[in-house]
Each structure stands twice: as C-alpha cells, then as structure tokens.
C-alpha cells in the first residue's frame, strides 16, 4: 500500500474539504519547523542545547535554551511565506509582527514552542503545541497587529495540532474533521500518516493530575479525586490508575491513544490566576483536538472552546479527555 505523507493528506483535504492552499502551506511550514525542533531536541547534551537561559518569560518562568531556540525556529520558518498576519507565543510578551519586507496573509499562528520544558534535561518527552485562527478583517492592515486580533474563542480555530518529541516524533493534527496522526520517517524526512481515525474512548480507568497540589484544590476536585482513589469499593465502583508526565503534550497524547482524564485545576496557590495552563496556546488547541477525537474538555464550569479570551497569556483550569469522566468532574463543580 502506498504511504500517505502529510503533503498528500493536505492536498487531498483541499479536494475533499476545500482546505485553502495558504492554510495547507501554513501547516506544512509548521511541520517543517517541528522537524527542525525535533532535530535540536534529539541532540541533547551533544548539541549544547540543554539547561537554562538567564532570562524569564512573561509568565515569570526561567526560559530553557530549547524554549528560546524552538521559538526562534517557529518564527523564522513562518514569517516570510505570506500566509500569516501575525504570531503569538508563550515565550513572547506581545504579538509578533510580520517584518515589513514580507507580505502578510490571512491567518494567525499561536504556539507553545516547547511544552513540558522541565522534562528536557531528564530526557523525557516534550512537544510543540499550535493553534491557527483567521485574522479579523483589517486588523493590522495599517500598522501593527494588536493583541485583540488573537482574542477569539477556541471554536474559531481553523486548525490545531501538536508535535511530540518522544521515542518517535509524531504530529497530531485537526483541520476540524477528525484527528490524524503522522509519524516522522527520519530517513525520508517526511511525516507519514500512521494513525488515521483517532478516537478517545468514552470511558476510562486512568487519570492524570499533579497530586502534590492536593492541599490547594477546590472542594469539587478534592471530592472527585478522593472517589477515584477509593477504587472498586468506593462510589465509582472501579479501580483507577494514575499517570503524570508533566508535559501536557505527552499526557494528552496518551489520552488520545488509550483514553484517560487530564486535570490541571485552579488552586489556591495563586488565587488570581485560574489554573496553570494557558488558554490560547495550550488549552484551546488541545481541546479542539480532544473534541475532534470524540472526547470532551471543560474548565469545570464551561466548555473551554466557548471561553472568550481577554488576554494572550490568560490561564485556565483544564479537565479534558474521556467524556464520561469529564462530564462527572464538571457536574461536581455545578453541585
């Protein structure tokens, strides 16, 4: 059987679903950048890419060398092609303007260049998460593109995906009609379609949460996790297993592969911030992918994709994965 590469898949999407040519180009460019990041990540200590910088990002987190390098790779790959009106990233305070010498396009690209960066130095999976929006008409036409152009709810995403740099490098992608998984063939240098019809099982016996924050949680989460831990003889009547990679990409990838529930609730450590994860470049793209695979995603109160963002780096509580458990923990918030 002939192999379907990412390029062929995208061209066939143009024929079957009218995917615009510039969106197709955008995805190919992002995929190419992810290949370059994968290459850098895999060099590790040999490439001198491990360790931290002396700088902090807008969230006050110390930047790793690979956070900065991955951000630069994505910017450089995407700024010249004429497909974007602007970009935004976890590693940049403000919207990135397309340099004046290049043409501008119809789309906005938002990304977490390297997710799970605490895993880099210990040789555990990390990834890149991205979200594609349409740029509102006229925004940035005369002069700079403002942050407000990006502040669109997740339902308006036209594409989203992530690359995971693990034992294999994979690219998971949705254009709004299901989720496809591509594995990087390093000899050919192309992403090949290997996971055609990704579905998150509706029920699960596996959950992911950073248990060390338990004392800071809100009552519905405490109650729910207590019930999970109570196992077969508890109110849920089954035993659950727990996994926590501490890279959202890796935890979500496991859930896409075999089901599960991922939680990063808000907690009382920083009461003014609703959780740790960022809406625009972590929660929204992952929620789009999970929903497209038949799963669900909420912040405990509402569907994440319906949230109207108010700032680029805004945080949000996240409960995503197998439908039955997302619905259960969301219902506990409503009681």
Which parts of this chain interact with ligand AHG (CB under 6 A)? Answer: 61, 90, 112, 115-118, 210, 246-248, 276
Q: What angle do CA 320, 326, 330 make, to 5 degrees?
A: 115
From 26-34, 115-123, 180-188, 293-301, give the range in contact with Mn ion by CB under 5 A. Answer: 115-123
Q: What is the largest CA-CA distance in the chain?
A: 66
Phi, psi of 105 (to 5 degrees): -125, -165
Q: Which is nearer to Mn ion, 135 or 172 (CB)?
A: 172
Report the residue number, 84 or 248, with the smaller CB distance to ligand AHG.
248
- Mapping DSSP to helix (H, G, I), strand (E, B) and coil, where does residue 208 land? strand
In whole angstroms, how close is the CB of 120 to ligand AHG at the nearest point? 9
In whole angstroms, how close is the CB of 334 to ligand AHG at the nearest point? Answer: 25
To Mn ion, the closest distance from the beta carbon of 120 in angstroms equals: 10
Nearer to ligand AHG, 116 or 321 (CB): 116
Among 79, 115, 291, 325, binds Mn ion (CB under 5 A): 115
| Partner that binds at residue 87, options Mn ion, ligand AHG, none, CB closer than 5 to 8 Å by kind | none
Nearer to ligand AHG, 83 or 276 (CB): 276
Nearer to ligand AHG, 19 or 70 (CB): 70
- For the chain, helix, strand, coil in percent to 5 are 40, 25, 40
Measure the CA–CA gap between 304 and 175, rounded to whole angstroms.
Answer: 18
**Tokens found for residue 201:** 């099982």
Q: At what angle do helices 21-43 and 6-17 cross, to 10 degrees?
A: 160
Decide whether 19 or 91 has the Cβ nearer to Mn ion: 91
Closest-approach residue to ligand AHG (CB): 248
Q: How far is the CB of 298 from ligand AHG (least distance, A)?
A: 17
Q: Which of 112, 251, 291, 325 binds Mn ion (CB under 5 A)?
A: 112
Number of Cβ within a 10 Å radius of residue 58: 13
Q: Choosing among ligand AHG, Mn ion, none, which partner's interface includes residue 247 (Cβ < 5 to 8 Å by kind)?
A: ligand AHG
**For residue 162, which of 290, 72, 41 has the smallest C-alpha distance?**
290
Asked if residue 123 lies in contact with residue 70, where contact means CB atoms within 8 angstroms, the answer is no
Selection from Mn ion, ligand AHG, none that 210 binds (CB < 5 to 8 A by kind) is: ligand AHG
Distance of closest approach, residue 80 Cβ to ligand AHG, in angstroms: 26
> In Å, what is the CA distance from 199 to each residue of 7, 122, 163, 250?
23, 31, 18, 16
């Amino acid at each position: 059987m002939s192999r379907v590469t990412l390029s062929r898949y995208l061209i066939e999407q143009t024929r079957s679903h009218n995917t615009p040519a510039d969106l197709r180009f955008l995805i190919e460019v992002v995929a190419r950048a992810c290949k370059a990041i994968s290459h850098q990540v895999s060099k590790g200590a040999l490439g001198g890419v491990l360790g931290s910088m002396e700088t902090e990002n807008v969230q006050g987190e110390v930047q790793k060398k690979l956070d900065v390098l991955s951000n630069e790779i994505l910017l450089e790959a995407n700024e010249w092609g004429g497909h974007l009106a602007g970009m935004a990233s976890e590693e940049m305070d403000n919207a990135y303007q397309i340099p004046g010498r290049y043409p501008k396009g119809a789309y906005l690209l938002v990304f977490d260049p390297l997710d799970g960066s605490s895993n880099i130095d210990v040789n555990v999976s990390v990834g890149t998460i991205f979200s594609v929006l349409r740029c509102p008409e006229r925004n940035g036409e005369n002069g700079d593109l403002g942050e407000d152009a990006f502040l669109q709810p997740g339902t308006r995403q036209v594409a989203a995906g992530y690359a995971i740099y693990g034992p294999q490098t994979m690219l998971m992608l949705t254009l709004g009609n299901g989720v496809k998984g591509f594995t990087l063939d390093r000899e050919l240098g192309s992403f090949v379609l290997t996971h055609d019809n990704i579905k998150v099982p509706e029920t699960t016996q596996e959950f992911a949460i950073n248990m060390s924050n338990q004392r800071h949680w809100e009552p519905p989460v405490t109650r729910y996790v207590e019930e999970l831990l109570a196992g077969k003889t508890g109110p849920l009547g089954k035993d659950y297993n727990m996994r926590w990679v501490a890279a959202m990409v890796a935890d979500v990838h496991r859930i896409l592969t075999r089901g599960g529930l991922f939680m990063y609730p808000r907690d009382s450590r920083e009461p003014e911030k609703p959780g740790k994860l960022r809406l625009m470049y972590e929660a929204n793209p992952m929620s789009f992918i999970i929903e497209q695979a038949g799963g669900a995603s909420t912040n405990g109160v509402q569907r994440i994709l319906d949230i109207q963002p108010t700032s680029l780096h805004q945080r949000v509580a996240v409960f995503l994965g197998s439908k039955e458990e997302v619905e259960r923990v969301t219902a506990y918030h409503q009681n």
